[in-house]
Structure 1
Amino acid sequence: MRQLKRVLIVFGVILSYILFIGIFFTNKVMYIRKKTNEEILEREMMLGHYKEDVYMKLPKKELTIPSPFGYNIYGEIIDVQGSNRYMIFSHGVTQNTLNSIKYMNIFLERGWNVVLYDHRRHGKSGGKTTSYGFYEKHDLKAVVDWVREQASKDAVIGIHGESMGAATLLMYAGGLEDGADFYIADCPFSDLEEQLTYRLRADYKIPKQLIMPIANTFLRLRDKYSMRDVSPINVIENIENPVLFIHSEPDDFIPMMMTQQLFEKKKGKKQLYLAKNGMHAMSYSENREEYEKAVDEFLEEIGHGKEEILS
């Protein structure tokens, strides 16, 4: 009887551990804390990326695009008269369209139309969970499809993504359809499970064997996908259209190595810009001239440079 009691106690402890880890970890993943508008604007204003008087004068039009998952995707379009070129911006996790303004400015100055949108569960878009590209890639497809429907047949469409947004565009282009004419992937992770494993080691010194099997099981039960399903490195070879990869060398949140791996595995036209300064998602903020030069050289190489824009 005592032995049975001990077995039950041990079983209860193990079950409690599994439940705690599974629910705690997946809550952190699915319901990651989002930054407020005030937090984002304070940072962007401090860095000189956002000037309210300039932004408010832009010819913006709000967009509401249906997601295939039953909610609405919120966005904005800024039209440049006479342009048939469109840049779509895919922001990072915890952010929203306000975080894309710095990149938007680069392309507005070069005569491109701009489409900003909020990922699911971010900003003004619907959706209950964050999935780091698994569901978000379908929403991006809905945005690209909307632009294609609105634009002329000869329109050029590019997508710029930062961090999770960069991983999302790679998942879209490699896993769903290579539907844009080119892509700019700024500091993407190459594999979600590897990224979370890296963070576990760096932040908590915990080996993945104690967490990942449980977390993957609970994530599949709760949100119907596994971390192994979110892996840009597994689909990158399917992308035929050009990709500019960007990462800052000092980035210690998503290691530069991940972008280098993606670049090496990508077939066809591609370029790589490694910024000397800046932590995660700060390549542009800390290397503005070099960043814009890398973008210009990439656009020139693929036939969408300044001369083509102005002609």
Structure 2
Amino acid sequence: MFIGGLGRSGTTLLERLLGEVPGVAPLGEVVHLWERGVIGKEPCGCGEPFTTCPFWRRVGIRAFGGWSTGLADRILTLRRRVDRTRHIPALAARRCRVGLSGYTRAYSRVYEAAAQVAGGRVVVDSSKHASLAFCLRTSPVVDMSVVHVVRDPRAVAYSWRKQITRPEDGTPMTRWPSAWTAVHWLVQNLAFELLARRGGTVIRVRYEDLLADPPAVMQALLTRLGLGGVAVTFLRQGVAELSVAHTCAGNPMRFAAGPLDLSRDDNWCDRQPRLHRWLVTALTWPLMLQYGYRPRDRRTPEGAVAPWLTAGVAAQECR
């Protein structure tokens, strides 16, 4: 299961919720495993350094005979060669680039080993990048379903301007100007639209719908993914009970354990400068309308669960 979309859209939250479903193993942003985990030795979601985490040590041994910086360097070299947004048109046309098979083979080995170690039948990669989803689609052994998470671009732009400290090392996370965020929001979401049109399994979930009614949206999503009938007992009265997760990279929420308040972050409605709000709207409005966001509305109505996720089933918008 690949969770895609632009960062700050709720992708990590959705991964954490899916990770509480029996038989589902959340892995974090595997695209960053090589640099941040193997080379940087950043902590796993369990708090242990990646190279000493028992879960990831067993995964590395099963997949490659053990992790090594040489392996990570080779994968990062291949990533720079094939896994780029500018290569999406070629990947969509099935014009495979040199090194692509070796690149996707490394991911498939990680997924298979993680499933075996976790004792699950589904793994979740929340890498988000559309280019990686297109790369994985070429793999003959990866059975991939994409969950495409979208959020109001004005809220995403506001979040990308905030100062957030990485708990791994105390350094600030990347910040983007509003216009830059708007362009990335447009490009990434259009790329997942293209993936759906090219026959990929792409299921769209809005952040606002997920927070409006988490149990209903989760049940509908699980049904669409072939995991229907699983009780989401970890969700109760706007709170999710999270267990420790072995996620290799992602935003600070990956370290959360215990009760997590499921409330929408709508601070942008009151705090985002009007100029920034209208700039983002001007750059993204056609796709905003398609996703149900209204340029003049400063807040998506509470309880407005998207039509493709109502009644516990996925409908026309789920592809």
State the structure with more CA Rg.
Answer: 1
Looking at secondary structure, tell me which structure has more strand per residue. Answer: 1
Higher relative contact order (CA 8 A, sep 6+): 2
Asked if these proteins are the same fold (TM beyond 0.5), I'd say no
